[in-house]
């Protein structure tokens, strides 16, 4: 019995002393990287660049390194870094996109190096997909499309007409911008945009489609001709107004007058109808007279 107790005691002692050895042989569990991310020197570097040195570009580069090191972490430190990283990347992307847009529209120098109107419309459409009410982009694309049309390239007429109309709607609703590029002011922009919208609306239209187009364009031509601005001093809006009055008002009213009263004794109704017809004729005469006066001896108006 003593021998058995002695053996059991030795076994227990051996087991007791073996436990620490067994624990030492088992590798320690690795620390969770996400719990130590906030203590990382890289995070401290990012924080110092962003909040102390106010060097956002440097902080962005450090943020990229930090997120590469902790790609799966969701702790508050990593979340803050990612929020800054994404916002900065978006801002840089937007700035680069805007720069590319301006170069494509106007070129990078006096020689218009890099000017590429199809590319400008491609970039502009992407910008409008993010902000459909970007008045600056709408105005510049409308202007670019009009200038291409004036240079005998109608490729952008459809898009530019829509952009011009949207621009005018936004301005009428009170929207404004700091810079009215390519114009010098809101007044100048409105003056030209109304004229451009009218011109692109009627271009390429014939027959009934032309009549409908002139009916749609008449209000913008009227604004271009009457509101303060450079278009008011041009012959174009008045000449267009004369045609618009003729095809949308005088022609149908004359047809109705002939149908109702031609060959019949004069009546109060026929006299009233004739008076209305004459009022339209007066508007046509007035518009043509203003167009002729403003055209003067300018060679580009000679044939018309």
Distance CA 232, CA 229 (A): 6
- Residue 28, pLDDT score: 54
| DSSP state, residue 296 | T
* Helical pair 236-245 and 186-202, crossing angle rounded to 10 deg: 50
- Note the pLDDT tens digit of each residue in 259-302: 999 999 999 999 999 999 999 999 999 999 999 999 998 888 88
Distance CA 199, CA 250 (A): 21
- Torsion region of 112: left, alpha or beta (phi above 0 gives left; psi -120 to 50 gives alpha): left
Q: Model-level pTM?
A: 0.76
- Residue 30, pLDDT score: 59
- Residue 2, pLDDT score: 44
How far is Cα of residue 101 from the mean position of the Cα atoms in its chain?
Answer: 11
Distance CA 45, CA 60 (A): 11
Give ∠ CA 100-105-108 in degrees, rounded to 5.
Answer: 65
- Residue 36, pLDDT score: 79
């Amino acid at each position: 019995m003593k021998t058995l107790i002695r053996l059991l005691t030795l076994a227990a002692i051996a087991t007791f002393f073996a436990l620490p050895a067994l624990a030492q042989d088992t590798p320690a569990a690795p620390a969770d990287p996400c719990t130590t991310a906030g203590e990382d020197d890289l995070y401290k570097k990012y924080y110092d660049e962003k909040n102390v040195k106010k060097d956002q570009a440097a902080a962005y580069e450090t943020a990229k390194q930090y997120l590469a090191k902790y790609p799966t972490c969701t702790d508050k430190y990593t979340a803050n870094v990612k929020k800054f990283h994404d916002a900065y990347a978006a801002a840089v992307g937007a700035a680069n996109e805007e720069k590319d847009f301006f170069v494509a529209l106007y070129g990078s120098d006096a020689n218009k190096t890099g000017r590429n109107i199809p590319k400008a419309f491609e970039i502009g459409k992407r910008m409008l997909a993010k902000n459909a009410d970007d008045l600056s982009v709408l105005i510049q694309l409308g202007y670019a499309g009009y200038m291409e049309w004036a240079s005998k390239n109608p490729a952008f007429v459809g898009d530019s007409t829509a952009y011009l109309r949207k621009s005018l709607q936004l301005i009428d609703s009170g929207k404004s911008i700091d810079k009215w590029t390519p114009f010098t002011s809101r007044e100048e922009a409105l003056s030209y945009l109304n004229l451009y919208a009218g011109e692109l609306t009627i271009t390429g239209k014939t027959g009934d489609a032309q009549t409908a187009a002139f009916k749609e364009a008449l209000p913008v031509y009227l604004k271009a001709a009457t509101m303060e601005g450079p278009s008011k001093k041009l012959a174009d809006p008045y000449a267009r107004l004369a045609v618009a009055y003729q095809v949308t008002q005088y022609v149908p009213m004359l047809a109705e007058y002939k149908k109702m009263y031609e060959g019949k004794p004069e009546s109060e109704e026929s006299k009233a109808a004739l008076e209305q017809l004459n009022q339209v004729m007066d508007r046509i005469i007035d518009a043509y007279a203003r167009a002729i006066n403003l055209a003067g001896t300018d060679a580009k108006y000679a044939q018309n």
